[in-house]
Structure 1
Amino acid sequence: MCWKKKPKPEVPITGYRVDLSSVINKYPQQANWLNGCHNDQNNAEATLKKWWPDFVAYKFRDAQVTRANFKNTLNEALNEKWDTVIMFMDCCFSEDNTRDIHHAVRARFVSPEHTIIRPKVVKHIARSVDMKWIAFSACQDYQTAADAFISGSYNGAFTWAAMKVLRPEMTYYDWFLATKTLLANSSFEQIPEMQGPDYLLNKKVFSDKTLFCQYSGHGTYTPDRNGDEADNQDEAMYVYDGMILDDELSEILTKC
């Protein structure tokens, strides 16, 4: 008799404060490898548990960060009821070069298959007009996010700055401003972004049931598929086996 093998059940994402992180250093193409994404994951976990010891970490790396696994895991996490959901993205969606003479820097960006001239318009991945989550991004949409050598190791400059300044007494808006200031004072040209409703931005950081979704890796862009983009391009996270479009991510996050 032939028995059909059952798929493994999904691991439920539960906890009062959850760190759900997906990071990629080693892509299938060695030319796309990064250096600091694993350190971003370790740094975030250590910092969050330092201030809030009850944080539960679910960590995915490299070949684990596929389109299907990322989307399924985020969907599974959002089956839980959260007071605050945070998308924290240390990647970029522009091929403008980061000009930084003080650090060994690589941009976290993969060029699209076809060369496209992009106007510098304000665009936001993981955002919507009715968003009920907070979105932190490493830089403006026309800039690059640095994968940089800082204090003896490679890190995403954005993650490094955010974790260095994080304190429990801050609001989310305070945290963003402190991160932005440290990046500027450390000679990084990237300007981070934050967006979300005021009632979330004015909360004390991680003061209630919170899902912290971290992505460190490459970003890219691709021709718009549904006509909703001012510059006719969709931003995307460039995961191990392809792209996750901004439209796909926003659709999942509407479950918040």
Structure 2
Amino acid sequence: MRTQKKMLPLLCAMILVSGLAACKDAQQPKQSNLPAAKAASQTVPVAAAQKPLALPWPPAPNGNTVLAPNLLADNYYVVLDGSGSMLERQCSGNQSKIETAKNALKEFAASVPADANLGMLIFTDSQIRELVPIGTGNRQQLAEQVQSASAAGGTPLHEAISAGYAQLEQQAMRQLGYGRYVLVVVTDGQANPGHDPTEKVRWMLDNTPVELHTIGFCIGTDHALNMPGRTVYKAADNPAALRQGLADVLAEAETFDVATFQQ
């Protein structure tokens, strides 16, 4: 029965490609991005609960959009703080915070289900650099790119979150809005003046089903991205808490095994 339910949106999408765009609306409400089978079996985090959206989401695919092979895939996009303060050693034992974050993110990437899409960028004050485009089969590449990442400068959170969201929106167009969309932010500080992400985050939460999960590393809970009831925020003051915060992001994934993060 579960398999049959999952096939319905896929069959609907095939009809949509042939020109019957109304099929999607009849099959699944626009305000929900969870397939019916998942909605029946999973507890949705408060930040991802079904809600009426102010605008249709995602934007309609254009003529150049290639549909994803798996319309029901979960999607995770990581925004990693590469500011200069990540070179400090607080909360990290005998290594820098950036090294601790790298190790945790490599474990996280290895634990993301193989059929889920994963991507990552890192930001410094001088650039926002995508380490790995969102996709599958990229876990080893991501681990290698993360390991080579360095930290310097400030914290342009608004621009970095906007860039990460844009990648999820593009993927949503390829999946016709089906699946789960999660933006994961790992940061150890507040945004620089003029780079406050609050307005962008509120727009995203009001107009899209994208979830925002933030792990505040060594900064407590007083952070702009901590919006109780809207975002998921975890304060981490040691490497184990950072790993667990990332593990919690995958709590809705059926194949998630927390034992990976307890070794």
Which range, TM-score by smaller chain?
Answer: 0.3 to 0.5
The structure with more strand, counted as a fraction of residues: 1
Q: Which has the higher contact order (CA 8 A, sep 6+)?
A: 1
The structure with more helix, counted as a fraction of residues: 2
TM-score normalised to structure 1 length:
0.35
